[in-house]
Structure 1
Amino acid sequence: IEDQQEWMALQGPHSSGLLAFLAANRADYDGFVLFTYLYATSYDTLEHVRGKFYLVPFAHDEPPIYLRLFEDVFRAARGIVFCTEEERNFVQQRFPFALPRGEVLGMGVDLPAGADGERFRSRFDMREPFMLYAGRIAESKSCRDLFGCYSAYRAHAGSSDQTLSLALCGSAQMRVPRLRGIRYLGVISEQEKWDAMAAARFLVLPSRFESLSIVLLEAWATGTPALVNGTCLVSVGQCRRSQAGLWYRNADEFSLVADWLARDDGLCRRLGANGLDFVRSSYQWPKIVERYMEFIRFEALAIV
């Protein structure tokens, strides 16, 4: 456990000001909410908020969650708030001894004020149809697998007016291969990201580890469908609930589904419309705030 505590010390971030405030003012609060299980800002506060905190863990099946030191974090929580049913199911399996009341409340996403696909195409000279990856370009996000899948798709689809390029935006933490059809746009502005989503045929989300993908909700907020990694239960669950995305489990399936989405205008329109309806009905901030307030009122009665 000492090695794990050393890992947490290196993980950070640490806030001496936060700890000092909690030590001085703990008695003034009936409860605290800790966001994410993974970082020291939650772990370091345990001695001050034990028995009085609610955890929003953003948990998924990744190596750190199997460290023993996190068992104390989940055991000590008065309650746990989840983003998806899949996250709750995973935490129940990982920490069956510790789970108190757990509610799926989700997280809000802002609807874009004016996403303009044509503005994006003009700004970046992207006249060809394309699939979009938005976010950190990293091994941990399964981007190497994405490049392999895209290469297989190009070999499958050949060259035609309907063959999709792969546009990527975000910070590159690994080398982006120079393959035919791949366009790396670098880090772009928030408005340019919304415009890119509006212009894309679909968003591709190759990550195998998600507790809730904000970028997936953002794509749906622009009426753009998604193609997600079928080994990520959270992403697949979101696609099932929304009826706004499809999934793949290997390069062959990626090639077939991407080609289908490239060629079927009606399917893309239906999936995109479903995604927009899903975000509007379930993930706008007023609805999320209402769920949190109801949860807090219920917990306040339980404390009394």
Structure 2
Amino acid sequence: MRKRKIAITVQRYGKNVNGGAEVFARMIAEKLIETYDVTILTSRALDYHTWKPELPEGTTIENGVTIKRFNHKPKASEKKIHHLKRSYRGRHLYQKFYRFLGRPKWYLKLFPTAEYHDKYGIQWLEHQGPTTYGLVQYIKENENTYDAFIFITYLYYPTAAGLLTVPHKSIFIPTMHDEQPAYFPIFQKTMAAPKSLLFLTASEQKFSQGLFKIDHIKQAVASVGVDPVSDVKDNTVIEKFGINGKYIVYVGRIDTAKGCGEMLSYFTDYLKDTGNAVTLVLAGKNMMDAVNHPNIKYVGFVSDEEKEQLIKHAEALIIPSKHESLSLVVLESFACKVPVMANQLCDVLKDHIELSNGGWLFEDKNSFYKALNDVMANVDNTQKGLNGYNYVMNNFTWDHVLNTYNELIDYVINANKMELTNE
């Protein structure tokens, strides 16, 4: 029997790509190939800051998944993107007043430029990148080749332009969170376009339902399954990176957008103010100026096995981001029975910690100090780690996740068959 063909579009893809949405896409693709014929449609980029086309164009296979990479231009200058973003938001008083009045049609007769049209949104997305025109053209030309299209992450050109090309065949996983671009008018259109929406958490769904007109779209909530992890610790990984004594670990892109600036500032102040002997280990690609301190250790991009061992040996994982739609690394830490320090200002992270009782929340320097003091004093560390483990095992199973995907794929396929029959 022929496997149904599914195309997954994501801005970057591959085992050497470090990013939450991209890792999520890889996990999902490698599970879906057990049932479907899966093709990844993506860019040639490794680095989202530049979109430099580093990987070869064309078709490759990785872990059984077919990957089609399309050429694209490097990213526009940050100055150009920032200027376009400010223009797109509408900086003039008459534009702000138009939004305040609730966008009445009569107002547009007086001020036709008060409302920004779709072309401005596409223009911003093209500058944001990666501008994979060939990818979108491929979707147009091969629409009938695939039974369904899955688009991951709302923020980038391949998703927005691709989704608007085949909305009737689309399952959209927006990984939406409360940030400035989410309020751009173009995303009202993309969020209302697909046949189905899949949210990673209930918090993401609630936020999206409040911001977008999506009541007419079939929706579901599912993220990833988390497999049980061995309790075995391998000291050679710690020795390899020269880590001594107690430490907390950060895993992911080291970036101001991920809250790493505040985390590093709080941590260096904590060391100075308390004199406690603790190290902060940072695993991932560094996108910031490195902080030179004997208690801060950068270990760079690590393998999945090394990441697991770094988490297992840590007193706690720390995640300082205010903007997360799921946070895979929190679930991975819980699977290792390691508690988590997380930013309370992110609703998704707050839900994870409060629902699991698997760690501590902080929102400023004082609450950061308190949380880290508890970690260092071993206040319920073991119990919180077990709580996190139980939370993951009870709520994040592959059976549930894959059943949800199967249901949505069936829904999209059957809905399209019905529409064709009615025609």
TM-score strictly above 0.5: yes
1:1-304 paired onto structure 2 within 5 Å: 1=117, 2-27=119-144, 31-96=148-213, 100-112=217-229, 116-159=233-276, 163-264=277-378, 267-297=380-410, 304=418
Aligned-partner residue type, residue 150 of structure 1: F
**CA distance, structure 2, for counterparts of residue 137 and residue 121 of structure 1:** 20
- Secondary structure of the 2:253 match is coil
- Secondary structure of the 1:241 match is helix
Greater CA drift, 143-152 or 180-189 = 180-189
Structure 1 unmatched runs, 5+: none
RMSD: 2.4
- Secondary structure of the 2:305 match is helix
Aligned-partner residue type, residue 64 of structure 1: P
**CA distance, structure 2, for counterparts of residue 167 and residue 46 of structure 1:** 39
- Secondary structure of the 2:168 match is coil
- Secondary structure of the 1:119 match is helix
**CA distance, structure 2, for counterparts of residue 82 and residue 47 of structure 1:** 19
User: Structure 2 vs 1, CA of residues 145 and 29 (structure 1 numbering), >3 Å: closer, same or farther?
Assistant: same
User: Structure 2 vs 1, CA of residues 12 and 155 (structure 1 numbering), >3 Å: closer, same or farther?
Assistant: same
1:22-60 Cα deviation digits (max 9, x unpaired): 333434655432211112222222443123322110111
**CA distance, structure 2, for counterparts of residue 34 and residue 9 of structure 1:** 17
**CA distance, structure 1, for counterparts of residue 124 and residue 160 of structure 2:** 12
Residues 129 and 164 in structure 1, CA contact (< 8 A), matched pair in contact too: yes
Residues 201 and 223 in structure 2, CA contact (< 8 A), matched pair in contact too: yes
Q: TM-score, normalised by structure 2?
A: 0.65
Residues 33 and 56 in structure 1, CA contact (< 8 A), matched pair in contact too: yes
Q: Which has the higher contact order (CA 8 A, sep 6+)?
A: 1
Greater CA drift, 242-251 or 149-158 = 149-158
**CA distance, structure 2, for counterparts of residue 164 and residue 117 of structure 1:** 20
**CA distance, structure 2, for counterparts of residue 22 and residue 114 of structure 1:** 45
Structure 2 unmatched runs, 5+: 1-116, 419-423
Q: CA deviation at 1:208?
A: 0.6
User: Structure 2 vs 1, CA of residues 301 and 119 (structure 1 numbering), >3 Å: closer, same or farther?
Assistant: same
Greater CA drift, 218-227 or 31-40 = 31-40
Q: CA deviation at 1:21?
A: 4.0
Residues 337 and 386 in structure 2, CA contact (< 8 A), matched pair in contact too: yes
Q: TM-score, normalised by structure 1?
A: 0.89
**CA distance, structure 2, for counterparts of residue 283 and residue 31 of structure 1:** 24
Residues 192 and 213 in structure 2, CA contact (< 8 A), matched pair in contact too: no
**CA distance, structure 1, for counterparts of residue 268 and residue 216 of structure 2:** 43
**CA distance, structure 1, for counterparts of residue 280 and residue 164 of structure 2:** 48
Question: Which protein shows a greater Rg?
Answer: 2
1:149-203 Cα deviation digits (max 9, x unpaired): 11232244323xxx32111111111112223522222222222111100000000
Residues 117 and 197 in structure 1, CA contact (< 8 A), matched pair in contact too: no
User: Structure 2 vs 1, CA of residues 217 and 99 (structure 1 numbering), >3 Å: closer, same or farther?
Assistant: farther
Greater CA drift, 255-264 or 115-124 = 115-124
Greater CA drift, 223-232 or 43-52 = 43-52
Aligned-partner residue type, residue 323 of structure 2: F
